[in-house]
Amino acid sequence: MRVLRGSDKNFNYRRLHRDLKLLQLPVDFNLIILDEIKTYWGLYHSSKKLIKSYVAGLSYETAFPHILHESIHHYQHYHQKDFKRKYGVMHDKIFKLLMEAKLNEWCLLYRDWR
């Protein structure tokens, strides 16, 4: 995971890297965390392997699910065998299953920390 200039300096990038690795998700993408106000929380640019996430200033626990979402898009584009995005479909059945499973796994990792 390469953090690009302009990203939120206060974000816990080490924890993000560790959490994604614990969830067995690849971290071979570029990341920029911004605080611009958008109507969405993030974007994945597959041609650049770039995740843009608009979560600067949010707590890690609030921001992580949004970055996880974009990380799963990256996983599908570059690591899921035979993946082809269908025109007009942003989230296929496998994406939804992965998102639910990985988010649940992440919650279980930290359930005893509360």
For 15-69, what is each residue's pLDDT tens digit?
Answer: 999 999 999 999 999 999 998 877 889 999 999 999 999 999 999 999 999 999 9
What confidence score (pLDDT) does residue 106 get? 96
Provide the whole-model pTM. Answer: 0.92
Query: What is the Cα–Cα distance from 1 to 14, expressed in whole angstroms?
Result: 10
User: Is the C-alpha dihedral spanning 27, 52, 96, 68 positive or negative?
Assistant: positive
Give residue-wise pLDDT tens across range 60-106.
Answer: 999 999 999 999 999 999 999 998 888 888 899 999 999 999 999 99
Contact 56, 3 (CB under 8 A): no
